[in-house]
Structure 1
Amino acid sequence: MATPSEEMKKQITWRRFEDGENEWDDWGDKIFLEDTSYKCPTYINRTPPCQGGCPSGHDIRGWLAIVREQEKPSEGMEWEQYAFERAVEANPFPSMMGRVCPAPCQDGCNRNEVEDFVGINAVEQYIGDTAIEKGFKFTPGADTGKKVAVIGGGPAGMAAAFQLRKMGHAVTVFEKDPELGGMMRYGIPNYRIPRDKLQAEIQRIVDMGVEIRAGVKVGSDVPVADIEKEHDAVLWALGCQNGRDLPVDGWVGTPNCVSGVAFLKAFNEGRMKVTADKVVCIGGGDTSIDVISVARRLGTNSTAGNPEDVVLDTSMNQDDALAEGAAPADATLTSLFTKDKMFAAQHEIHDALHEGCEILDGVMPLEVIVGDDGRATGLKVCDCTMDGMTPIPTEGTERTLEADLIVSAIGQSADMEGLEEMANDKNLMDADKFYQVPGREGHFVAGDIIRPHLLTTAIGQASIACESIDAYLTKKELAKRPKVDVHHFDLLDKLKEAHLEPEAFDSSEGDMRGTSDAKYAVHNYEDRSHQEVIPANDLFLGHFSFTPRLLRSEDVPTADEVLHHFKERMNSLNQEQAQEEAKRCMSCGMCFECDNCIVFCPQDAVFRVKKAESTTGRYVDTDYNKCIGCHVCTDVCPTGYIQMGLGE
């Protein structure tokens, strides 16, 4: 009976071998018949592409396995806390990153080859929100007597404070702004990052015993020499909270031409209650989307005066009454790239359009039109095509967009005032591969001050920098970083956690060449996760049925509802949904206990490890006295955990 065509669209099936593929590809392989091969199953741990693509190096596969309750916590610990503790090994902000990270992990997810990626961000948000709700805390390490100064209280600085306190080092964070959070607080609107949850995740780090000196700018308020005298090491996590000028005529010196960073900071500090009647923003990334979305929410009030005043004067605070009388504002974004190639997340672009913003894609700015009073009245633009990162103007398409406020959201720059001797020719800071500052012993660096990038990139750099700081403080030699530099699953650590660690080896007893019965070693297991990321073609995709992704619901206002709509847009999954979504993870490169190898082994050579001796990565084993090397177990292993080896 033929399968209906509509059913074929829904139920995707895969075969490892096509009809007629009954010959080995290579003539040399023909000399080995399956039943006389020396090869037997070896269990190979490799890094999944989600983790390999995550700049903070999350053990994503690990905490998804915990959420779906396949990997069990220690006795007496609830799975929510265990998932939280696994997630924050890399990133202490799961609630924040689950909301705003652009998720390169999801782009690389092997599940894309079946139907759709796993909703990693959605599950991470659930983990983070649940941890706040249940009051999970961090535990500092034993005191080492060493003190580290962290300059900057943004994502890199606070992530570093967390990692350093886990190591037992005392930490003082110097932050020039009155509150911690950096770009998470001052650069992202509250309807994307709820301030109560941001504060909870920051406070959890502070509660580890981190000293905070807010409102202090190192280099002007405090000399660098004093920092060096009082601390054993210094981590520079300054961030980049200045915007970049638009490189067109008429921009410099025009008062109502401002940066996206300054615009959003005025809003996030609560100083800006209304904005201009016509806002034009140049960009294409998430910051530019935030600018136009904020403009639509604030609206405009003709009695507010010049719109740029509150942006440029950090002491100015608009009256709340202005918001009460606000009318909708026009907000337009111009992007060099077409919408499908813009750097902003696609759902952010969709939401902005739904809220009544206008996005002119494939458009380049040419000139700021300045009126007789010295203020900008419009932005001259034209259509363009892109040659790599270079826009090519289309002749005859020039026109002027009316504007009362023009915002440049084309990138960020650093404030190195008072620290000029540490700045490179890009007014940023140099770093070596260990995130040390070249030529300055005891100084380390992480985050946007190296190169502006993602929040999760800053968090990942902070983690590596802290390992370098710890090695410096404890006088250890810096080890070579692994090719796949992430937070790896360690089978020995898991065995110790489960009280299944190998026995001590006594060289005076037994066969020193080792046997499969010896208890002093972990047998037929190889950890290649430091060198290899497992691709989709090493999985048996036919095991996975078509399972649509569970989407988080969103409260996105329409163009008529957006004025003063500051409620969070992204809703969290509930527990059942989070667990169901976690079950879609294919556990690439690690056994997820499906029993395929046991069921299909024709020799009954593959068997389950005894329940009392089983844990993650040690669910099955092979009796090599029965194995004939037929490689069926490899063919049917969905996760690519089994490879034919031993002897190669």
Structure 2
Amino acid sequence: SESHSESHSKTFNTWVTSGPIKPPCTSACPVNADVQSFVTLVAQGRFKESLDAVRERCTLPGSLGRICHHPCEGECRRNDVDGAVNIRAIKRFAADICKDEPDYGPVPKTRGKKVAIIGGGPAGLTAAFDLSKDGFDVTIFEKNDACGGAIYTGVPKYRLPKDVVARDVAAIQSLGVEIKTNTAIGTDVQFDDLAKQYDAVLIAIGLSVSRGIPIPGADADGVLLALPFLKEANFNDNATVGKKVVVIGGGNVAFDVARSAKRLGAQQVNLCCLESRPEIPAFSWELDEAAEEDIAINPSWGPKEIKVVDGKVVGITFKRCTHVFDENRMFSPAYNEDELLDIEADNVVFSIGQGADMNGFTGTSLEVDGRGRIKWNPATFQTNLPNVFACGEVVTGPGAAVAAMRNAHDAATSIETFLTTGKIEPVTVLKPAPIGKLPDFTTLKITRKDKNDISVMDPAERLKSFVEAEGGFELQTAVYEAQRCMNCGRGATMARPEDCAACLSCVRVCPYGAPYISEARVAGFSWESCQACGICASVCPGLAIDIAYNDDTLINEQIDKGTSGVTVFGCQYAVPTIKNPASMASPSIPGVNMVRLMCTSRLDTRHLLRAVENGADGIAVLACPDEECRHRKGVNWAEIRTNEVKKVLEATGIGAGRIAFMGAPGGPEAFGRMMGEFKAKLDELGPNPVSKVLAVD
């Protein structure tokens, strides 16, 4: 951004809050990613553009495409039809298929200000992305040998291969971000020095310290902590574990530990937690996959004593937990000391919580509270030091990586404001209002398209190693799955109410019951019902209706590129030409100008005639058969429009043979053959007699 009138994060927030509503996937996403855009771009074969769209908010797309808990899918309106769009898998596909494509390249550092970021996890990397793109000189100080934070050191390789994290980090580094690894605060560099040397400092160190419980036997040989255990499993190919392992905890990290222990050779793994089965905080799929891997899950048990012989663990005793929370949902576990459970164990692994490593800040000017946590203002992200800010789990507490990334986006906004104006302002986070539920009538009218699930390695096979257990989509599967998106919120708008005659044309033709006539005798549209097919816009005699993201201005801009050759009108999905990555790009067809519509039902006679007036020698209209179209229209409006223009061309002597209605080609190769045959017929007719090219000559 050359003018830097807004920060990168502020610009995106402006988009999020523009317009009346957003798709529920965007509203549910913690970073409010433009899900609809990156999914649609994959559906169109524009993979690199899709990846760039993902990165604007989800700055670690390859990693999050594997480990995100995808709340977007839970709110997808296609759940009421045939299953949510597999958004997470599409995100992963865009990252994976573009893995060899060039990254951004350095952004000019035009601000003259330097920012130090302490911690290279998801939060620190996200803030570095925003601030670097805004023209600041950014340096990350990371204590480990590589960036990524918990997703690098803690998430097991069977869920997230480390080369994927490295690719995500490299893309951010390519912006011109300097990364200093193996650099610990307080040892290799002093915090107070950074606060003086840099215009702003952001502390984003996460929660890297595992906690234990001071019960009898907790100091015995064989008692381990979750995060060191996972780091060892990730990076030591010779790591081992006892035959009998007990994991204490019910969160996702505890399940990572239990499942890793199995892969390290443990024959018997018991996971014990305070929570009852319905209260277990780990994601449901973690419980399912752990059960598939023969991990015993023991809910409602709290540790009482670790049994020790000759200084080594031999077992552990649990006591029955009768409840975890009090009536106010505060953590207040109670036990029945008379009901006990004994389990033999060679190793006991505590996975009951995490804290921040604050050693590097001891004795510095940074203020911490009585519990050793950073004092900060959650509205501004500022600490007691004017130029020092904090974000991510170190201040918010544990949570999903994507939540820490949202926090970092907002922290970057605050830092940009401070460095630009010298002022500190609260960061207002506005949640976009989601579009409403699909009405039952509309649900019944939507074409069913079965959901594609990702492949998962058989449990017996995946336990043999730390090889990634989940597979990604192949190209055709990804394109198909992306085309299941219903483009929620991209539908009809009353753009020119003064031209609406309340003639009911839109009401009569809509398959979904979206249009209505208001008391003011102007057409309105229920966006809950509207599927963006565009029929209403094409039949409106007053030209009062637009389709969001596909208005006449956009369509005409595409038409005007064709001053000779063939202009082809088709659904945005009619020919998913692979435009990028370049290594896979479909060959372009010379002399063909594609005009992409939300649906060919959007096509109007004026669009076709404009192409003729521009000098196109031929016009092809591509449309799916009604039974295959994403919109069950009942009437093939594109064919009707084509036939209307045929009559005009024949009557004017231009020739009806210059326009052809064709079915969906089924792919770039079939499309190429179709165009070759059509152009051969046009050669017999000669150039368009109203060609602007001929007129200039």
RMSD: 3.2
How far, CA to CA, are the matches of 1:621 and 1:430 in structure 2?
59
Q: 1:588 to 1:64 in 2, by over 3 A?
A: same
Judge conservation of contact 2:305–2:318 (CA < 8 Å) in 1.
no
Identify which of 124, 129, 136 aligns with 1:157: 124
How far, CA to CA, are the matches of 2:428 and 2:445 in structure 1?
32
Question: 1:567 corresponds to which residue?
Answer: 467
Offset of residue 187 of structure 1: 0.4
Query: Comparing both chains, which one has the higher relative contact order based on Cα–Cα distances under 8 Å and sequence gaps of 6 or more?
Result: 1
Question: 1:277 corresponds to which residue?
Answer: 243
* Normalised TM-score (structure 1): 0.70
How far, CA to CA, are the matches of 1:586 and 1:251 in structure 2?
57
Identify which of 50, 58, 76 aligns with 1:83: 50
1:238 aligns with 2:205: yes
1:61 aligns with 2:61: no
1:490-520 Cα offsets, whole Å, 9 max, x none, are xxxxxxxxxxxxxxxxxxxxxxxxxxxxxxx
Q: 1:409 to 1:440 in 2, by over 3 A?
A: same
Identify which of 208, 227, 244 aligns with 2:194: 227
1:109-135 Cα offsets, whole Å, 9 max, x none, are 233233422211111101111221334
Residue identity matched to 2:450:
P
1:455 aligns with 2:401: yes
How far, CA to CA, are the matches of 1:597 and 1:89 in structure 2?
34
Offset of residue 330 of structure 1: 1.6
Identify which of 520, 536, 542 aligns with 1:597: 536
Alignment of 1:182-331 (within 5 A): 182-246=149-213, 249-250=215-216, 252-270=218-236, 273-299=239-265, 328-331=266-269
Q: 1:251 to 1:149 in 2, by over 3 A?
A: farther
Q: Secondary structure at the match of 1:407?
A: strand
Identify which of 365, 374, 384 aligns with 2:302: 365
How far, CA to CA, are the matches of 2:297 and 2:539 in structure 1?
55
Q: 1:91 to 1:605 in 2, by over 3 A?
A: closer
Question: 2:317 corresponds to which residue?
Answer: 380
Judge conservation of contact 1:416–1:423 (CA < 8 Å) in 2.
no
Q: Secondary structure at the match of 1:474?
A: helix
Alignment of 1:392-403 (within 5 A): 392-393=334-335, 397-403=339-345
How far, CA to CA, are the matches of 1:482 and 1:535 in structure 2?
24
1:261-292 Cα offsets, whole Å, 9 max, x none, are 11101222316521112110012222111111
The aligned length equals 497
Judge conservation of contact 1:340–1:346 (CA < 8 Å) in 2.
no
Offset of residue 172 of structure 1: 1.3
Question: 1:405 corresponds to which residue?
Answer: 347
Alignment of 1:408-557 (within 5 A): 408-420=350-362, 421-450=366-395, 451-475=397-421, 481-485=427-431, 529=432, 532-536=433-437, 540-557=442-459
How far, CA to CA, are the matches of 2:597 and 2:224 in structure 1?
53
**Greater fraction helix:** 2
Offset of residue 226 of structure 1: 1.0
Unaligned runs of 5+ in 2: 1-17, 492-530, 559-595, 605-630, 632-697
Residue identity matched to 2:316:
L
Q: 1:598 to 1:364 in 2, by over 3 A?
A: same
Residue identity matched to 2:258:
I
Offset of residue 255 of structure 1: 4.0
Q: Which moved more, 1:204-213 or 1:281-290?
A: 204-213
How far, CA to CA, are the matches of 2:603 and 2:208 in structure 1?
54
Judge conservation of contact 1:148–1:169 (CA < 8 Å) in 2.
yes
How far, CA to CA, are the matches of 2:297 and 2:479 in structure 1?
37
Q: 1:572 to 1:473 in 2, by over 3 A?
A: same
Question: 2:273 corresponds to which residue?
Answer: 335
Residue identity matched to 1:446:
C
Q: State which structure, 1 or 2, has the greater radius of gyration over its C-alpha atoms.
A: 2
Q: Which moved more, 1:539-548 or 1:601-610?
A: 601-610
Residue identity matched to 1:547:
K
How far, CA to CA, are the matches of 1:473 and 1:604 in structure 2?
48
Judge conservation of contact 1:354–1:556 (CA < 8 Å) in 2.
no
1:356-376 Cα offsets, whole Å, 9 max, x none, are 22222x222231233243433
1:586-638 Cα offsets, whole Å, 9 max, x none, are 3332336312534786987536743225899999899xxxxxxxxxxxxxxx9
Question: 1:347 corresponds to which residue?
Answer: 285
* Normalised TM-score (structure 2): 0.65
